[in-house]
Structure 1
């Protein structure tokens, strides 16, 4: 094919023919030392294939080809066209080139292509480059092509922006701290879940949102501890990534519902209304709490099913290709923003109550307790997740890990341990268990 394209430069090929070169590079099996000759041949073929996509006398066009093996951006300008110098992108890398300047010395037309082929990193291994220093490739192999260009000198520089294929190595201390904090948080999530399910609560209290918030976060945190164990199993990794996406989004939706119910409860209390049962109806909570995540994950899977699986960080998660990670980041940011608004509105509704609190010694303990509950509720509603925007700072990294892993701890303390009825239920359980142990010991003594 390469020789045929060299002999017939006027042939024009469709995009589907060009994308077919990718599987060849991906299917070739080579050793760790790579195969530079094969890589050079495939790059030469791809060069001629891309050049064949440029039609004679073509006006200004931009073509994008995205498949599982090829990522290509092609820009063509003709006489009289006005190029906006928008960068060409391929798999996260970008190329900025001034085509207007090239067209001035090329009969008024110019074209440029930027392409990556999956599998080229196997052929052009770092072992292929013989250097004195230790060499390691951190990015994908990309190709820049200037089809049908007569000039060999470019007056303006061409700027390439390259992304690392592998993320920087993680801090082992932070990784250990995160794992330990998550395990502690899972323990308190489990205590809260059992308390919500087994304790006898006041009929006016609606714990539906809190229970399902605990369930969603418990299972998502549990799976996050194991999402690097199935990277070698494609189907299992894809299922785990999709399930994690659903659970994390569900957790944040339940946080939003809890924030909304808290705000409605405070508003009713401030108006001295009789509360038959606090919170929204259960069917509505279930519909929103699990329906919204199901719709988000379903649409995401239909749009780009390959976005679930093994990532560059060697975990089962959402891919960054085609900005697919925004299927999670977008809803999370929106919910965090709404929770901030609801939390501030709730504090504003509590303003008269907080202002009228007495400052004597008898009230100081209650004041400290209320302040603690406010801070704890801030964590429970996920408002501290905004710290994820400042992960370049070690202090904010530590704060992010400690606070967000302990949502279950704060939830258990505020809604279970500080609840008088629940504490009495705990005491009954302990009394019953101690009474059974005592009766067993007495029976053993009698038998002896």
Structure 2
């Protein structure tokens, strides 16, 4: 494309061509008089714009060209210029074009210099990216502000000294105060927590320094129960500035009252069940008074006591899953030296039926160990080991191994305890059991599906 003589005379071609912005001059018919190399390269032409059939509208992306023709060109014709118009240059190979800010000046003919429009394009890629990021941040901030404003939990912001900055409507309702937070007042003055030291905010800050978070429960006016979370708000603009803190207040009054009622109900239920078991034990003692059934009577009563013990553990967990190791404590309690029973295995949570079945099995094994096995003398020991495997660890393996006690030998017939162990565990775990009467002691093995 031929360079216009007036441009060559006015400025160095090298300076204009390599400028960090695009220059374009076009005549009233749209024909391009001059375009610098910067603009040409932005449009994908390394050596300059095509010489023929290329007008200034070809510089724009299609939508920007339509906008320029319909809106900007009339403005230029009316007032002689246009400033800071956001548009896009034409792209190459279907790719989006470069975003630019455009200034246009209409210059009437003067002497030998024809009428023309001079364009200056500034690359707006970084500006557009920044504006997009800013808009996203603004939208996110507005969304978060709406969430905080309409949240059903109380949200309070304080400075590093605990001085109030703002709170939401839910916090207003909890504190029974109307209007904005009394800015600058200490949160510990405004929020008086029952049975909690008035240094609770400073204590929370120390906990956050150690653990990264702090949560506790407190009361207001002896009737509103709150779950309170305190978190640090780091100043991202100035990381050396003191942090603000957020205080989240959840009204858990209903949950606390429900939990109290549930505790009373569970305690009452446990009391009734234990009374029922005590009545059954009394009936057994009265009904089986003959000397020849004394031993069987005692076994039956001990089994009922084992059921009561497992019931106590499950009741303390609200009849939710209970941990395997809880089964070992009642066994150790029967020995002068609890260390004679050792156990090892991963944390396994048992549902109530599995827990009760294993509890009964352990009771039978313990009874046998006390009478005939490892605990029938002062030297025997029992090792209990368990593990999990299979898909999602749903297979449970367990061994009860006695050592150091008197030598054992297989019984002439299976007793009621052995039969009960097998039937209980087989039914509940759909598994299999095995009793090995080894010279060094009894070894019981079990494998089942949880």
TM-score (norm 1): 0.24
Structure 1 or 2: more strand by fraction: 2
Higher helix proportion: 1
Point out the structure with max Rg over C-alpha. Answer: 2
Q: TM-score scaled to structure 2, two decimals?
A: 0.24
